[in-house]
């Protein structure tokens, strides 16, 4: 789903905007790095594989997936993405997902933007539940979610295929009614 009015990032020098097909090259450039690739379930062989996954983000259907580009305003370059998928209007729920270029790791950016998008999804999209699944072993993402007030609910064995093999994922959730532990909203 196209995002007409993304939230303000709240981070100096960083902007959020609708992701566009022109972002695919920069997105693929960091997703293919071994240190990023091993923490995700992406199975991308080339930039064209990523272009195919872009289609739902450009759809106007109300419950389609949405993704925002995280842009370094000084260079205009995409340095990450964040968005929602597996949206359900009936259940007022969605799954949050994000990824960032290693050049922007360790700065608190993922935490700040995860908290911002969570607050935005509760207020603007009227979601009640936001969940996240994390490939077992991706401890940095677990820490991001904990800092944003997400609670660990358990392990989903063989939940998603990870490059042809069933992967185990931990599931986390945050409800609109949970107290905010992130310091953001």
Residue 55's φ and ψ, nearest 5 degrees, are: -50, -45
Bridge partner residues of 168 (DSSP):
none
Kindly state whether residue 19 falls inside one of the protein's structural domains: yes
Alpha helix (H) ranges present in the chain? 24-31, 34-37, 47-54, 109-124, 139-147
Per-residue pLDDT of the chain (185 residues; tens, 9 = 90+): 889 899 999 999 999 999 999 999 999 999 999 999 999 988 899 999 999 988 889 988 878 899 999 999 999 999 999 999 999 999 999 999 999 999 999 999 999 999 999 999 999 999 999 999 999 999 999 999 999 999 999 999 999 999 899 999 999 999 999 987 554 44
pLDDT for the residue 184: 46
Nearest to 107 by CA among 80, 78, 146: 80
Kindly state whether residue 110 falls inside one of the protein's structural domains: yes
Bridge partner residues of 82 (DSSP):
68, 98
Report the CATH number at residue 158.
3.40.630.30
Kindly state whether residue 22 falls inside one of the protein's structural domains: yes
| First and final C-alpha spacing in the chain | 23
Cβ neighbours for 143, distance < 8 A, ≥ 6 positions apart: none
What's the domain count of the chain?
1
Q: Which domain holds residue 113?
A: 14-175
Kindly state whether residue 181 falls inside one of the protein's structural domains: no
Sign of CA dihedral 142, 97, 3, 78: positive
Kindly state whether residue 96 falls inside one of the protein's structural domains: yes
Kindly state whether residue 182 falls inside one of the protein's structural domains: no
Which residue is it, tokens 């972002």? 23
| Helix (H) or strand (E) run with residue 150 in it | none
CB 93 within 8 A of CB 131: yes
Kindly state whether residue 44 falls inside one of the protein's structural domains: yes
Kindly state whether residue 2 falls inside one of the protein's structural domains: no
């Amino acid at each position: 789903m196209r995002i007409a009015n993304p939230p303000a990032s709240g981070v100096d020098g960083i902007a959020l905007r609708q992701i566009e097909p022109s972002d695919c090259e920069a997105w693929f450039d960091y997703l293919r790095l071994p240190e990023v690739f091993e923490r995700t379930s992406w199975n991308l062989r080339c930039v064209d594989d990523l272009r195919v996954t872009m289609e739902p983000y450009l759809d106007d259907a109300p419950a389609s997936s949405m993704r925002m580009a995280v842009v370094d305003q000084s260079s205009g370059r995409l340095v990450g993405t964040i968005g929602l998928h597996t949206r359900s209007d009936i259940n007022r729920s969605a799954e949050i997902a994000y990824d960032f270029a290693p050049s922007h790791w360790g700065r608190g950016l993922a935490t700040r933007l995860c908290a911002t998008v969570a607050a935005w999804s509760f207020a603007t999209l009227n979601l009640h539940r936001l969940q996240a699944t994390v490939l077992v072993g991706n401890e940095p993402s677990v820490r991001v979610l904990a800092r944003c007030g997400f609670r660990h609910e358990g392990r989903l064995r063989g939940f998603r295929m990870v490059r042809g093999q069933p992967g185990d994922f931990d599931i986390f959730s945050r409800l609109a009614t949970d107290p905010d532990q992130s310091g953001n909203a």
